[in-house]
Amino acid sequence: ASALFLLSQISIAQQKKQPISQPLVKHIYTADPSAHVFEGKIYIYPSHDIETNVSRDADGAKFDMKDFHILSMDKIGGKVTDHGVALDLKDVPWASKQLWAPDAAYKNGTYYLFFPAKDQEGIFRIGVATSKKPSGPFKAEKKPIEGSFSIDPAVFKDSDGSYYMYFGGIWGGQLQRWKTGKYDANGALQKANEKALLPKIAKLSPDLKSFSESPKDIQILDEQGNLLLEGNNDKRFFEAAWMHKFRGKYYFSYSTGDTHFISYATGDSPYGPFTYKGVVLNPVEGWTNHHSIVEVKGKWYLFYHDVQISGQTHLRNVKVTELHHNPDGTIQTISAYK
């Protein structure tokens, strides 16, 4: 019997899937990596996960992050530098808690850090902070972006020099509370047979500190041209919007949340509509899945996270792997384990 037991243990060990990539840093927990090439280096703008006494709830209270650290590296696979605290919650006049997934942009000698946080009323808003350096430190504006709400800003610079912010997230991200355009604390999630809630886009003003238009819905359609339903939860938008452009096409990618995929949909305009195309990244270890897609020296990379170091959903670690577009423009699905 003991020999049989040993054999079964060996076979379990053999079956345990091996990660395809290792955490970029191990001295702090990091998540939601938004990567950009600035000044010839790769800069990563992640959430900074921390241990907390706050209890777990369905709204993500356990993600109680209090600052941002920015990471950089000269090349993929190179040494990773942690530039220390780039922005602290206590220095954001309007914010009360939960610094969630950020993004960054550069324009005319200034770097911009965009980030969600709860305001004094517990409502998620999106703020902006500026610096002369991509690594910060960043100085926050006194108020959140007027008209902003929900979470997960992703700022995309189009080829014509226009900047757009994509944002939104359901469940803890509160998008269901904005169905009427006004905040409703009782706003319910959609039912399975109702149309799924849609992510938002707003063009940014020339100084990148405000919206130059009211946020609009981003339509995600199935192959038949119909809007996805809430019941299509293996395909519909949940959170973690990202935009990249490849050979003139716009690729809108996002997390499906409770089904844990990073999916993508393509279109011919930054505003969409976008047609669902498939999966970029299969579920990772840990509940959340959040990514960015960036071109570095002619190759494309997926930055993502899992919970390899901690084994706990709220203590994540960022990673990177190469991403491939097929000749027909589709993306080869990545599995983070082999």
Q: Is 100 in the site for ligand FUB (CB under 6 A)?
A: yes
Q: Is 293 in the site for ligand FUB (CB under 6 A)?
A: no
Catalytic member of 32, 103, 152, 285 = 32
Bond prior to 215 in cis (omega within 30° of 0):
no
Catalytic, 32? Answer yes
Give me the helices (H) in 146-304, please: none
Among 82, 103, 152, 285, binds ligand FUB (CB under 6 A): 152
Among 177, 235, 290, 291, binds ligand FUB (CB under 6 A): 290
Among 239, 256, 261, 293, binds ligand FUB (CB under 6 A): 239
Q: Is 240 in the site for ligand FUB (CB under 6 A)?
A: yes
The side-by-side arrangement of strands in the sheet containing 154-157 is 154-157, 163-167, 200-203, 216-217
Provide the minimum distance between the beta carbon of 100 and ligand FUB in the complex, in angstroms, as a whole number: 4
Residue 156-175 contact track with ligand FUB, rule CB under 6 A, x = bound: -------------x------
- For residue 276, the one-letter residue type is Y
Provide the minimum distance between the beta carbon of 145 and ligand FUB in the complex, in angstroms, as a whole number: 16
Total chain residues near ligand FUB (CB under 6 A): 13
Q: Using alpha carbons only, what angle is made at residue 215 by residues 110 and 166, rounded to the nearest 5 degrees?
A: 55
- For residue 133, the one-letter residue type is K
Strands 220-221 and 274-281: parallel
Q: Sign of dihedral through CA atoms 16, 22, 169, 243? A: negative
Provide the minimum distance between the beta carbon of 317 and ligand FUB in the complex, in angstroms, as a whole number: 13
Catalytic member of 49, 103, 152, 239 = 239
How many alpha carbons fall within 13 Å on the CB side of residue 32?
29
Provide the minimum distance between the beta carbon of 240 and ligand FUB in the complex, in angstroms, as a whole number: 4
Residue 41-60 contact track with ligand FUB, rule CB under 6 A, x = bound: ------x-------------
**Residues 60-99 within binding reach of ligand FUB (CB under 6 A):** 63
Q: Is 32 in the site for ligand FUB (CB under 6 A)?
A: yes
For ligand FUB, which is the closer residue by CB, 154 or 331?
Answer: 154
- What is the DSSP annotation of 79-147? PEEEEEEEEEGGG-TTEEE-----EEEEETTEEEEEEEEEETTS-EEEEEEEESSTT---EE-SSPPTT
Give me the helices (H) in the chain, please: 2-15
Separation of alpha carbons 26 and 65, rounded Å: 17
Catalytic, 230? Answer no
What residues act catalytically? 32, 239
| Binding region for ligand FUB (CB under 6 A) | 31-32, 47, 63, 100-101, 151-152, 169, 239-240, 288, 290
